[in-house]
Amino acid sequence: MTVPTTSGRIRLLPTAALILGAIYCIVPTLWILIASTKSKTDLFSTATYLPSFSAGIWHNIVDLSTYQNGIFWHWMLNSFGYALIGGVAASLVSAACGYAIALYEFRGRKVVFNVILACVLLPQIVLAIPQYLLLSNVGLTDSYLGVLLPQLFNPYGIYLCRIYAASSVPQSLLEAGRIDGASEWKLFHSVGLRLMGPGLITVFLLQFIAIWNNFLLPFVMVNSDDKFPLTVGLYSLLRHGAAEASLYSLVITGTLLSVLPVIALFLSLQRYWRLDLVTGALK
Amino acid sequence: MRSQWRLAGALVAGALLVTGCGGGGGSDQPAADGKVNLTFWDWDPNMDKVVAIWNQAHPDIHVTLSNPAGGDQLVSKMITAHEAGNGPDIAKVEYQSLPALVAKGVVADITQYTGDAAKDFDDTTLKATKFEGKVYGVPQDVAPLMLFYRTDIFDQNGLKVPTTWDEFKQTAADLHAKAPQVAMTNFDAADPGWITGLMQQGGADWWSASGTTWKVAINSAQSKKVADYWQGLVTAGTVAKNPSFSPQWNKQMNEGQIATWISGAWAPAQLGGIAPNTKGKWAVAPLPAWTAGDKTTGIWGGSATTVTADSKHAAQAAQFAAWLNTDDKAVTAQIQNINVYPAATSGRSLPILSQPPAFFPNQANYYDLVKQAAPSSRSFSIWGPNVTVTFSGYTDKFGAALQNNTSFSTALDDIQNATVADMKKLGFTVS
Amino acid sequence: MAARNRAKLPYLLVLPAVALLALFVVAPGVYALVLSFQARKVTGGLLGGGSKLVFVGLDNYGLALADPELWSSIARMVLVALLFIPATVGFALLFALLLDVPRVKLARSSRLAIFLPYAVPGVIASLMWGFMYLPATSPIGGDHIDFFGASTVFFSVANVAVWGSVGFNMIVIFTALRALPSELYEAARIDGCSELRMALRIKVPLVLPAIAMCTLFTALASLQLFNEPNTLRPLSNAVSSTWVPLMKIYEDAFVNSDVNKAAATSVLFVIAALAVSFVASRTVSRVNR
């Protein structure tokens, strides 16, 4: 019989191919881990794929933690602050808007939704510069709010919420609630939001990552180094490396330390991902 | 119904919060006790130690140091912050960027506050911060270009320190023949301050002005002579061509794959970080000359401490700028921590300058050599009002020329055209 | 009472989103439009002695379109996109199909490993790859291969982008595959149809909508290419300050402080981007039908 043998061979091949893919994705992080074990003097002089065992990593972490009074940890905190607050707020805004569009008929519904849909396709990045100039008129540049506020509007999140609300909140349930005398607002937060919960976690995670990864907006918006998120902070360290050489080992260690917590967050939250939502959105 | 009002209330509160936070956007918060708070943008490593000295001695004027970007990036940050009206009070500005910032109205005229301080500088130094009779900054340091070379590499290969550019070329060829893996030096397309220093030595005058009319001569014969010379070395393969301060260049410097570095007086402080393995192996010599015996050199870097037009405490800010660059204690701390070669005349005879920099224990007369070179450093008549366009032109065009082996001379023509076009667009008169 | 509530609540619920939309999308958009018709001119004196904004009509648009750097930056972006889009979608599809093969070993860990780069910011990813590319620190043969050569640099930039986005797209396609009813394959398996044939004949056509959407996502991402080349720039001569259109806009606005020309370029860019997106999304919805 030929069937078992071919399928036996094919299972090996896909496994090997997948592992190759996994290695490709992990190697840079692995290299950063190795490089961060090296002291300043070893970084450019020892074999690049061998870790150094001279306690360099600890020195590097100490150096990084003392650099400008530990500003690196400040950046880390900022990144979490921006992503967490922005993620939660943006998800709530999206949930409210998506819920209304999905479950109510009201004047202007179509227009609002179409404009939001167009924003999904608009590269947010080109707005960064006029946003900066506009926010500077009201004195909001170089402030935490200047970074947070523009990221609260998440057209893709609204889009997803609308789809999810339509499929997870049955109109009949709302009607039943209305007959029982529940107010529309109560229906929204005790029925709508609860049923949309799992989808909202995905919207939150998507927005969390989007803010965490954002570079241009904070880069443009913020001047004080104590308000930088990690991306801008590490980039500025790299550019300082271009005026002062000894910082490369700090950049490398900082890169490692910035990747680890997100990986941890991801591993712990992975079962909450509902990415079928992303594809389901198509139908 | 009531819950709706709660929601509306939350929204209004949110809006109030937003506007409330907006009010504190400026850089000056006049405190109730009459204490003045100043912000200071600077990228010098260890500048915090110098600022600490000031803060201890001046409880009424507190200076907060911030480091939002380095060099040319700081200039862009200053311009945008000025447009937003939230710039710092004090900022470090390299001489070449100062006219551009004056033209944009970013830095303030501080003539009235710096009468005393100005006496501490010679005319050549002051010229870099004084335009049309007004002072726009207190000079911090000067950095004549010099030739830093690896004594060990020169000895091993039986090389003599070149005193002219012809000799430099010959030495490069000799070194290449004996040790092909070692480059004579690095040609840097990333830092325009480096090439302009060499152009200044070569007799170029990229910008000059008569009355209110500008003359731009970036692609002059003098510039092309310098460019062609370096193109020859690059083509011969005797020099490396990485961006200086890049990791690649760091490695080459640290591992002895580059024999010389044409750099400013601040080089020893940087070398400690760039090439920690090479301590005590470097020495300094005057920059090679175009004609034997000529002492002219150029300048790489050098900065002034400026007060911005946005500052609400210009007098106090100017007081700090003057203190930073003329007070003996402050200047000594800067030499010690940042290895600046001071711009102030009095600073140049401070006792600390009789010791060599920590990274050059082998060269006791280090600062004597710098002192000899400083007076013969030649600058452009004036830096252009849109120097950023010229400088990004340099990094892009020369970077591409190195990448594609195309002509440096054509790159200069491109930079000239871009610079003139931009000046005309802005409304300057260009002859 | 209830009817009145019903009439009001939807407006209240969309209000935050609409307010944010007005403040952070519409207003900046209009402002950019206004700026694009103005220019700053100096007023007398050697160093200008101050400057004022004047109305210049379409001058900025003319300048922007006549700037050869803009066109080369677009050409470079297209080159990267031509590598980035097919590689990302291709690998995402491949890995998703492999994950869907029954009894593949280490599927969960591989899936997670491939997905993780999605959580790494583009700047950080470029830093990591930058050090991987540089001969000084390269563990992948950077001392033999010039990753920053005149043509290799396009692969190097595209690679960072691919690395960051394969995982997300893989999950999108994989989820779509999982949603297919398994009865579809049973018959084919019994007929002795190989996994490969099944993947090509049955699975791929059925997840075409997901593939189309991934293509749209990656096409949009390539328009927004900025972080990767911008972070790699200080490491080599190969990446210029105007390497892709957004870097060009950034350079004009913030380095050369010509906000007006940058605004004109932005407006043109948005129009072009919307046109591309529109065509792409029409194609996507046609595929979905």
Q: Do B73 and A138 touch (CB under 8 A)?
A: no
Pair type for strands B130-131 and B260-263: unpaired
Spell out the residues 6+ positions from residue C79 whose beta carbon is closer than 8 angstroms to its own.
C154
| Chain B interface, best mutation among C23, C237, C241, C248, by max B CB count within 10 A | C237
What does the pLDDT read at residue C159? 95
Tokens of C102: 């029954």
Query: What pTM, to 2 d.p., does this model score?
Result: 0.86
Q: What is the nearest CA distance from A74 to chain B, expressed in angstroms?
A: 14
What does the pLDDT read at residue C196? 81
Ranges of residues in chain B with a pLDDT under 70 are 1-33, 70-72
CA distance C65 to C271: 14
Residue by residue, what is the 3-state secondary structure of C51-66?
Answer: EEEEECCCHHHHHHHH
Number of helices followed by number of strands (H, E) in chain B: 17, 13
Inform me whether the C-beta atom of residue C47 falls under 8 Å from chain B C-beta atoms. Answer: yes
Q: Are C70 and C245 in contact (CB under 8 A)?
A: yes
- Which residue is listed with tokens 């965490």? A212
The alpha carbon dihedral of B297, B168, B413, C59 has a sign of negative
CA distance A70 to B155: 44
- Facing B247 at nearest CB: one of C39, C134, C257: C134
Using alpha carbons, list the distances in angstroms from residue B57 to B60, B92, B148, B319. 9, 21, 38, 13
CA distance B130 to B124: 10
Amino acid letter, residue A281: A
What does the pLDDT read at residue C4? 53
- CB contacts of A100 in chain C (<8 Å) are 9-11, 13-14
**Which contiguous run of DSSP H or E holds residue B411?**
helix B408-426
First to last CA, chain A: 42
Amino acid letter, residue B6: R
Tokens of C252: 């004009």
Q: Do A283 and C17 touch (CB under 8 A)?
A: no
Which residue(s) pair with B250 in the sheet?
Answer: none
Q: What is the nearest CA distance from A144 to chain B, expressed in angstroms?
A: 9
Which residue(s) pair with C109 in the sheet?
Answer: none
The DSSP output letter for C233 is G
Q: Do C235 and B243 touch (CB under 8 A)?
A: yes
Amino acid letter, residue A125: I
Among residues B233, B218, B188, the alpha carbon closest in space to that of B423 is found at B218
Q: Do A121 and C29 touch (CB under 8 A)?
A: no
Give residues 276 to 295 of B whose Cβ lies within 8 Å of A: 276-277
CB hemisphere CA count around A96 (13 angstroms): 22
Q: What is the nearest CA distance from C70 to chain A, expressed in angstroms?
A: 15
Give me the mean pLDDT over the C227-254 stretch. 90
| Chain B interface, best mutation among C23, C46, C60, C244, by max B CB count within 10 A | C46
Q: Are B38 and B62 in contact (CB under 8 A)?
A: yes
Q: Do C14 and A100 touch (CB under 8 A)?
A: yes
Tokens of B170: 């010959």
Q: Are A133 and C31 in contact (CB under 8 A)?
A: yes
Q: What strands, in cross-sheet order, belong to the sheet with B213-216?
A: B207-210, B213-216, B429-430
Q: What is the nearest CA distance from C52 to chain A, expressed in angstroms?
A: 17
Which residue(s) pair with B62 in the sheet?
Answer: B37
Q: What is the nearest CA distance from B291 to chain C, expressed in angstroms?
A: 32
Q: Are A96 and C16 in contact (CB under 8 A)?
A: yes
Tokens of B283: 């020495």
Model confidence at C5: pLDDT above 80: no
Tokens of C249: 């806009």
- What does the pLDDT profile of chain A (283 residues) look like in tens digits? 334 444 455 578 888 999 999 999 998 888 888 888 887 767 776 666 667 666 678 888 888 888 878 889 999 999 999 999 999 999 999 999 999 999 888 888 889 988 888 887 776 667 887 888 888 878 788 889 999 999 999 998 998 898 888 888 888 888 898 888 888 888 888 888 888 888 888 889 889 989 998 998 998 888 888 899 999 998 888 877 555 556 788 888 998 888 888 888 877 777 776 666 665 544 4
Which residue(s) pair with B418 in the sheet?
Answer: none
* Cα B244 off chain centre by: 14
- Facing A10 at nearest CB: one of C99, C195, C253: C195
Tokens of B182: 């070692």
Chain B, nearest residue to C51 by Cα = B104
- Facing C257 at nearest CB: one of B79, B190, B402: B79
Q: What is the nearest CA distance from C82 to chain B, expressed in angstroms?
A: 22
Give residues 53 to 92 of A whose Cβ lies within 8 Å of C: none
Amino acid letter, residue B20: G
Give me the mean pLDDT over the C34-43 stretch. 88
The alpha carbon dihedral of C83, C88, C94, C98 has a sign of positive
| Chain B interface, best mutation among A133, A142, A191, A223, by max B CB count within 10 A | A223
Q: Are A86 and A129 in contact (CB under 8 A)?
A: no
What does the pLDDT read at residue A280? 54
Using alpha carbons, list the distances in angstroms from residue B368 to A149, B349, B354. 56, 10, 8
- CB contacts of C23 in chain A (<8 Å) are 149
Q: State the burial class of residue B290 (Cβ atoms within 10 Å of its Cβ: 0-12, 13-18, 19+).
A: middle
Alpha helices in B305-377 (DSSP H): 314-326, 328-338, 366-373
User: Contacts for B224-227 with beta carbons within 8 Å, 24 or more apart?
Assistant: B224/B409, B224/B412, B226/B195, B226/B198, B226/B199, B226/B201, B226/B202, B227/B408, B227/B409, B227/B411, B227/B412
| Chain A interface, best mutation among B43, B245, B310, by max A CB count within 10 A | B245
- Facing B4 at nearest CB: one of C12, C50, C136: C12
What does the pLDDT read at residue B53? 95
Radius of gyration (Cα) for chain C, nearest Å? 24
pLDDT digits (tens, 9 = 90+) for C196-224: 888 888 888 888 888 988 898 898 888 88
Q: Do A99 and C273 touch (CB under 8 A)?
A: no
What does the pLDDT read at residue B26? 37
> Phi/psi of residue B134, each to 5°?
-115, 140
- CB contacts of B21 in chain A (<8 Å) are 140, 143, 145
Among residues B54, C103, B213, B337, the alpha carbon closest in space to that of A244 is found at B337
- Facing C281 at nearest CB: one of A44, A121, A270: A121
Among residues B266, B299, B264, the alpha carbon closest in space to that of B125 is found at B299
Inform me whether the C-beta atom of residue B22 falls under 8 Å from chain A C-beta atoms. Answer: yes
